[in-house]
């Protein structure tokens, strides 16, 4: 099979690109990546060729009548689970083990549900705290944003209860960790600067995710980007790190 190509946007800002990229990396799926500039005319040709919605991420492989195109991060996760890995992305287990007992089915259902919840909801935090890896920024969060953060903290607490200190949400890395990775980065950018208190278990999970080598690799590349996209900047920028640091 031809190696898949993942088309993504600017790594400092594109949260949905991060979710797809991190999932493929975590589940040992070999792929090439092509980065396009968000909201820039240079992206038009590649999006017109591969992206029916004109958005990233898009996963493509094969040619002509055998070309496979998968757009939308959730669809990429489902397709990857069905065709591109021997591991189950909802449990992190070998597929032969994932269906063997009720506990695994419960975890799979929970993982799928919170991934879908992240995909379709939590618009308060997503709109008011856009991913901006290089920045530390101060916002005035609305009640809707704070309600989303409380919901996210409840998800983390429920998933992590009775697990080791450095655990992912379901023990092994799953699609849920990939989908909530941008939330971790959002909290890192805005929470302290904005006076938003976080529970100890949330802080610990953020540390675990920030220590993930794939996420660190994404951040390292993001910090070398130079483009500032005003549409994705929010709040009062207190400082930046990376090549744009003062």
* pLDDT, tens only, 174-217: 999 999 999 999 999 999 999 999 999 999 999 999 999 999 99
CA 181-226-77 angle, 5° bins: 30
- Write the pLDDT tens digit of every residue in 50-93: 999 999 999 999 999 999 999 999 999 999 999 999 999 999 99
Q: For the chain, what is the mean pLDDT?
A: 96
Structure tokens at 28: 């040992």
Residue 99's alpha-carbon distances to 81, 90, 96, 102, 210, in angstroms, are 14, 11, 7, 8, 30
**pTM exceeding 0.85:** yes
What digits encode the pLDDT tens for the residues 207-222?
999 999 999 999 999 9
Q: Distance between CA 92 and CA 192 in Å, rounded? A: 32
pLDDT above 90 for 100: no
Query: Is beta strand 236-240 parallel, antiparallel or unpaired with respect to 32-35?
Result: unpaired
pLDDT of res. 98: 77
Measured distance CA(129)–CA(132) in Å, rounded: 8
What tokens does 229 get? Answer: 């996209």
Instruction: Give burial (CB, 10 Å; 0-12/13-18/19+) of 69.
Output: middle
């Amino acid at each position: 099979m031809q190696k898949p190509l993942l088309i993504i946007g600017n790594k400092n800002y594109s949260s949905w690109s991060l979710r797809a990229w991190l999932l493929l990396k975590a589940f040992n799926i070999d792929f090439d990546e092509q980065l396009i500039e968000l909201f820039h005319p240079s992206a038009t040709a590649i999006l017109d060729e591969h992206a029916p919605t004109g958005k990233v991420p898009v996963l493509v492989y094969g040619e002509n009548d055998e070309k496979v195109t998968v757009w939308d991060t959730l669809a990429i996760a489902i397709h990857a689970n069905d065709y591109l890995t021997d591991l189950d992305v909802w449990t992190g287990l070998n597929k032969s083990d994932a269906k063997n007992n009720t506990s695994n089915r419960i975890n799979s259902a929970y993982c799928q549900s919170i991934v879908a919840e992240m995909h379709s909801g939590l618009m308060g935090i997503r709109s008011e705290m856009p991913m901006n890896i290089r920045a530390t920024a101060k916002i005035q969060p609305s009640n809707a944003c704070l309600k989303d953060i409380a919901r996210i903290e409840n998800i983390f607490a429920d998933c992590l209860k009775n697990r080791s200190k450095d655990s992912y949400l379901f023990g092994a890395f799953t699609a849920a960790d990939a989908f909530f990775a941008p939330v971790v980065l959002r909290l890192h950018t805005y929470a302290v600067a904005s006076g938003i208190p976080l529970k100890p278990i949330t802080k610990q999970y953020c540390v675990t995710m920030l220590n993930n080598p794939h996420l660190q690799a994404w951040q390292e590349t993001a910090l070398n980007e130079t483009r500032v996209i005003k549409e994705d900047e929010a709040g009062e920028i207190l400082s930046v790190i990376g090549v744009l640091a003062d």
